[in-house]
Amino acid sequence: MVKDGIVLGERYEILSKIGAGGMADVYKGRDNVLNRFVAVKVLKKEYREDETYVKKFRSEAQAAAGIMNPNIVNVYDVGVDRGLYYMVMELVEGITLKEYIAKKGKLTPKEVISITLQVCAGMEAVHKGHIIHRDIKPQNIIISNEGKVKVTDFGIAKAASSNTTSSNAMGSVHYTSPEQARGGFSDEKSDIYSIGITMYEMVTGRVPFDGDSTVAIAMKHLQEEIVPPSEYVPMPYSLEQIILKCTQKNPDLRYPNVTLLAQDLRRSLSDPNGDFVKNGADAYGAGADTVMISEADRRKLQNQYDDEYEDDDYDDDDEYDDGYDDEYDTTRSLKSQRDEEKGRKPKMSGVMKIVIALIAALAVCAAAYGIASAVGFFGGSSKKEEDKTTMVDVPNLSNLGLTEDQARDAAEKAGFKLEVSGTEKSDQEEGTVIDQDPKYGEEAEKGSTISVVLSAGPSTVTVPDVSGDDVDTATEAIEAEGLKVGSTNEEYSDEYKEGEVIRTTPSSGSEVEEGSTVNLVVSQGKNPEDEKVTVQSFVGMPESNLTSWAEDNEINVSRSEDYSDDVAEGRIISQSLTSGSVTKGTTISYVVSLGADPDKEKPSDNDNNNSGNSNDNTTSDNNNNSGGDDSSSGNNSGSSTSSDGPVWESNIASWAQEKGVSYNTKYEKNSSVTRGQVIRYEQNDDGSYTFYVSLG
């Protein structure tokens, strides 16, 4: 095992162990040159001195390094440092398809098609590179956290050529093709068979062939017809036909390449129950005879599985030809089968009779020995321990909420021991199993130990307060705490400017699990509908009335001053806007009266009287009627104002406001009344008043 912190090739820093296979351990590492996380696969210590396994390890790197595809786990580098053979690969955060199937039980047809299309995309690049994977299975298909499907583990991949025979380089027996099981020629169609078995497991939650031993399973691939998946679960007709076509025992009846397989998968999405998949002998003009296994093939299979092949081990790459005519054996087996069907008994040779006699004799001896052992005749144990190692499937213990005791019971029932290798922070309940080695779906020696990691409970962090920050600054602060930014919603705010964060969900100060998502609410600024203000006229009113109103309604003002003979000092002469609606922040200009201009000459009382007598001859009779001996009385007679009415035009507005009435103003020339003075006023039928002001 490589220690954490060690640097390989003066570049790749080992951070932590994330997995293990039969021949290699996988670590999470950091590329210190490109500053990125990588996966580092290191050949186990017991295989470093064996040139065969070293060669196999390098071959895997060479097979995968030439393939650049988003659906293939890319290999970046390979090397040796201090006797450690390592391979640097793309780090994919996610779970294997095997784990995903175990988690969901069965996948929906759309999920099956989506995942298989991505596998086909990756395998199309592999096959174009003249490489046969030969170990396609759910354990070697990774689904990233982003949903990207990637094919990995080219440990037994080989160049596609006339010499690409299976020999000992077989994939997991549950997914291996019949031709691989027989040690025959393997090509792209062998990978397609494995893809078909993987699809079968995705849609039904089970593999089509299972048994007590790897040899028994391999025999089923060769001899037994596959049970249609629709017998286990309802499914679209076209998808079932695609799976059955992929898993034909005769390679010539399968899809010739993954491109055509992908075409039918896409068509199945739009026409689920269509009858467009060509199956049977007429598919590609090939025969559809069931493949039979000969006695020589049986012996060959037995030799292949003597060591109970492990899924993740690198296998011996040596190829051989046992000189046996497989085609002849198959034909002979088929002939024997036909003879039996016709009721004819195959002739038994003399050698065969001797073999049967020997087997019977051995059976009698074995029975006698067993009875003798049982009664203690040989003084030994009544039950002899099996010499041959038994390999069994590893049970699923992780991420199911199992406590240590529950996991131990499950392991012991499956024939394993259990040990706790440590604890890690996780989102799973504290004390439950979150990881195991070996992994679920792998095969391991019965009676061996499964190491498990227990959850130490979630690692919590505090949501930072980012209110008032812009989105970029808030995102940096949130991610710095090990959290992720999720959705961003907007709403109006009187408190925060446009683009500033108003609040987060969960709220700031909350304790959440590391890696949780934090959603932002961002300000759009103030609501325009709330910003509308109805303008009022303050002409003739004190300046304080306007400024108070403007401050309350967030209206800006621009002030200026001017002399006025008509408007009293400190009152509004005019304003730029007197009606309508405006947005808050609008500026209204107004002019404040400084009173009468001191430099302007004012007429004396005598001047007024004289002008009244000399300039308006048409009113002389009225003046005479007034007696002519009271000049002031003569002046007042030109006004109809009462003692409680306004005397000057500048007083009209305040008087009307005090009375709560509306008014309008009209102007008349009257030389007997001073300019700006009210001549008279009248109350109209609607209650309003009309004021007549002198123009002099």
Q: Catalytic residue positions?
A: 135
Q: What is the dihedral of CA 85, 91, 97, 98, to 10 degrees?
A: 40
Cα gap 606→612, rounded to integer Å: 10
Structural contact between residues 185 and 149, judged by C-beta atoms closer than 8 angstroms: no
Cα gap 553→583, rounded to integer Å: 10
Tell how strand 663-668 and strand 689-694 pair up: parallel
Give the position of tokens 């007598």: 613
Amino acid at 219: M
- Which two tokens mark 599? 């430099």
State whether residue 413 is helix, strand or coil.
helix
Give the position of tokens 């009210």: 678
- Which two tokens mark 607? 């001047």
- Which two tokens mark 467? 């209110």
Structural contact between residues 666 and 691, judged by C-beta atoms closer than 8 angstroms: yes
Structural contact between residues 207 and 199, judged by C-beta atoms closer than 8 angstroms: no
- Which two tokens mark 514? 């590391």
Please list, in sequence order, all residues whose beta carbon lies within 8 angstroms of the beta carbon of residue 524, skipping any fewer than 6 positions away.
490, 491, 492, 493, 498
Cα gap 236→274, rounded to integer Å: 9
Cα gap 166→498, rounded to integer Å: 67
Cα gap 263→238, rounded to integer Å: 12
Q: What is the DSSP string of 607-669?
A: HHHHHHHHS-GGGHHHHHHTTSS-HHHHHHTT----TTS-SBGGGHHHHHHHHT--EEEEEE-
Task: Give me the sheet containing 12-20, strands edge to edge.
Answer: 7-8, 12-20, 24-31, 36-43, 84-90, 75-81
Cα gap 136→149, rounded to integer Å: 13
By CB atoms closer than 10 A (0-12, 13-18, 19+), residue 223 is middle
Structural contact between residues 316 and 303, judged by C-beta atoms closer than 8 angstroms: no
CA dihedral sign of residues 409, 415, 417, 421: negative
Amino acid at 105: G
Amino acid at 419: E
Cα gap 103→96, rounded to integer Å: 11
